[in-house]
């Protein structure tokens, strides 16, 4: 039996996500890497996670019999809980320094926003909002 294109895409995106998670774990074991290295690795992990979830949903829709209802598309991880998890991961990767919670939260927001579907539009809107607030 031959694999469908969706199944192949699902497997590839899962492997990319698994590799991205491994890179973040390796960073954690390597000591205290700089913030930009951490942010890049966590962003790559989040993007791989979004790609994996999209591929999973497409495959699941294809596998469902016709007329069984609509398979709900995944929602972006752009929510407070997702941001909190990434902020905590950043804090852990940096060695749990005191006084970095707000910085980690903002970094996590940027990472999650950049990894989300429609991320370019949301990024522009956020930058415009931030510019407007800072100009006050």
Asked if the structure places residue 129 within a domain, the reply is yes
pLDDT in tens, 104-135: 999 999 998 888 765 444 444 555 555 554 55
Q: Can you give 68-124 as a three-state secondary structure string?
A: CCCCCCCCCCCCHHHHHHHHHHHHHHCCCCCCCHHHHHHHHHHHHHHHCCCHHHHHH
Pairwise CA distance, residues 20 & 48, whole Å? 7
Sign of CA dihedral 113, 6, 10, 68: positive
pLDDT in tens, 40-80: 999 999 999 999 999 999 988 888 876 554 555 545 445 78
Asked if the structure places residue 69 within a domain, the reply is no
Degrees, nearest 5: CA angle 23-27-29:
115
The pair of structure tokens assigned to 72 is: 């709900």
Asked if the structure places residue 116 within a domain, the reply is yes
Give the residue numbers spanning the domain of 131.
5-64+75-135
Pairwise CA distance, residues 91 & 89, whole Å? 5
Tally of domains within the chain = 1
pLDDT in tens, 20-49: 999 999 998 887 788 999 999 999 999 999
């Amino acid at each position: 039996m031959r694999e469908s294109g969706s199944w192949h895409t699902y497997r590839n995106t899962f492997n990319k996500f698994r590799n991205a998670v491994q890179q973040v774990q390796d960073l954690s074991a390597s000591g205290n890497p700089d913030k930009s290295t951490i942010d890049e690795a966590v962003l790559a992990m989040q993007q791989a996670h979004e790609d994996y979830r999209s591929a999973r949903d497409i495959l699941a829709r294809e596998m469902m019999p016709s007329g069984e209802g609509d398979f709900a598309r995944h929602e972006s991880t752009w929510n407070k809980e997702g941001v909190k998890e990434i902020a905590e991961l950043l804090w852990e990767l940096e060695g749990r320094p005191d006084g970095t919670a707000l910085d980690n939260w903002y970094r996590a927001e940027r990472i999650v926003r950049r990894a989300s579907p429609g991320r370019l539009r949301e990024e522009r809107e956020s930058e415009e909002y931030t510019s407007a607030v800072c100009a006050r």
